[in-house]
Amino acid sequence: MDFEFGVEDEAFRGEARAWLEAHLTGEFAAGRGLGGPGSEHEGAEVRRAWERELGAGGWIGLGWDPDAAPTSYEKCSPYGNRGATLTQQVVWAEEYARVRAPGRYGHIGENLLAPTLLAYGSPEQRQEFLPAIASGEQMWCQGYSEPGAGSDLAGLRTAAVRDADGTYRITGQKIWTSLAHDADWCFVLARTEPGTARHKGISFLLVPMDQPGRIEVRPIRQLTGTSEFNEVFFDGAVARAEHVVGGEGNGWQVAMGLLAFERGVSTLVQQIGFAEELGRVLREAARSGAVTDPVLRDRIVRQWAELRTMRWNALRTLGGTADPGAPSVAKLLWGGWHQRLGELAMQVRGTLAALGPYDWSESNPYELDALQRLFLFTRADTIYGGSDEIQRGIIAERVLGLPKEPLGNRTVAEDKGSSQGTQGGDR
Pair 172, 210 in one domain? yes
203 and 275 fall within a common domain: no
Please give the single-letter amino acid code of residue 410. R
Q: Give the list of residues 6+ apart from residue 126 with CB closer than 8 angstroms, or none.
A: 79, 117, 118
**Active-site hit among 146, 262, 284, 397:** 262
pLDDT per residue of the chain (427 residues) written in tens, 0 to 9 = 455 778 999 999 999 999 999 999 999 998 898 887 777 778 889 999 999 999 999 999 987 865 544 444 455 577 878 888 888 888 898 899 889 899 899 999 998 999 999 999 999 999 999 999 999 999 999 999 999 877 678 889 999 999 988 899 999 999 999 899 999 999 999 999 988 878 899 999 999 999 999 999 999 988 877 788 899 999 999 999 999 999 999 999 999 888 766 655 667 778 888 998 999 999 999 999 999 999 999 999 999 999 999 988 887 776 555 566 787 888 899 999 999 999 999 999 998 888 766 555 554 555 778 899 899 989 989 988 778 888 898 889 888 999 987 765 444 444 444 434 433 456 5
Q: For residue 357, what is the domain's CATH number?
A: 1.20.140
193 in active site: no
Distance in angstroms (rounded) separating the CA atoms of residues 140 and 260: 18
- pLDDT tens digit sequence for 21-74: 999 999 999 889 888 777 777 888 999 999 999 999 999 998 786 554 444 445
Q: Give the C-alpha separation, 202 to 156, whole Å.
A: 9
Structural domain ending residue among the three candidates 257, 277, 299:
257
Measured in residues, the chain has a length of 427
Q: Give yes or no: residues 231 and 270 share one domain.
A: no
Shared-domain flag, residues 273 and 248: no
Residues 158 and 191 in one domain: yes
pLDDT at 231: 96
Helix H or strand E segment including 288? helix 265-288
In a domain, 118, yes or no: no
How far are the Cα atoms of 69, 165, 201, 299, 388 from residue 142, in angstroms, in the given order? 31, 26, 19, 36, 22
Is 125 inside a domain boundary?
Answer: no
Does residue 387 belong to any structural domain of this protein? no
311 part of a folded domain: yes
At 1 the pLDDT is 45
**Beta carbons of 108 and 87 less than 8 angstroms apart:** no
Strands 185-191, 140-143: pairing is parallel
Q: How many domains does the chain have?
A: 3
Residue 133: which H helix or E strand, with range? helix 123-134
Residue 408 burial by Cβ neighbours in a 10 Å radius (0-12, 13-18, 19+): exposed
User: What pTM, to 2 d.p., does this model score?
Assistant: 0.83
> Would 401 be classed as within a structural domain?
no
88 and 199 share a domain? no
DSSP code of 415?
G
The answer as to whether 424 is a domain residue is no
Q: Say if residues 177 and 216 touch (Cβ distance below 8 Å).
A: no
Evaluated on CA atoms 245, 249, 250, 256, the torsion sign reads positive
Domain-located, residue 219 = yes
33/60 same-domain check: yes
Q: Is 300 exposed, middle or buried (0-12, 13-18, 19+ CB in 10 A)?
A: buried
Of the candidates 221, 241, 257, which is a domain's last residue? 257
* Host H or E run for residue 372: helix 370-377
Contact 65, 51 (CB under 8 A): no
Residue 221 has phi, psi (to 5 degrees) of -75, 125
Say yes or no: 294 and 253 in one domain. no
User: Does one domain contain both 251 and 293?
Assistant: no
Q: What does the pLDDT read at residue 65?
A: 66
Q: How much is the pLDDT for 367?
A: 73
423's CB contacts (< 8 A; 6+ apart) are 37, 270, 385
Give the CATH number of the domain where residue 225 resides: 2.40.110.10
Q: Domain for residue 56, yes or no?
A: yes
Give the range of the structural domain holding residue 170, as residue numbers without chain letter: 140-257
Q: Is there a single domain that holds both residue 326 and residue 372?
A: yes
pLDDT at 69: 43
pLDDT score at 73: 47
What stretch of H or E contains 327? helix 326-349
The residue among 227, 257, 287 that closes a domain is: 257
**One domain for residues 373 and 309:** yes
Are 267 and 250 members of one domain?
Answer: no
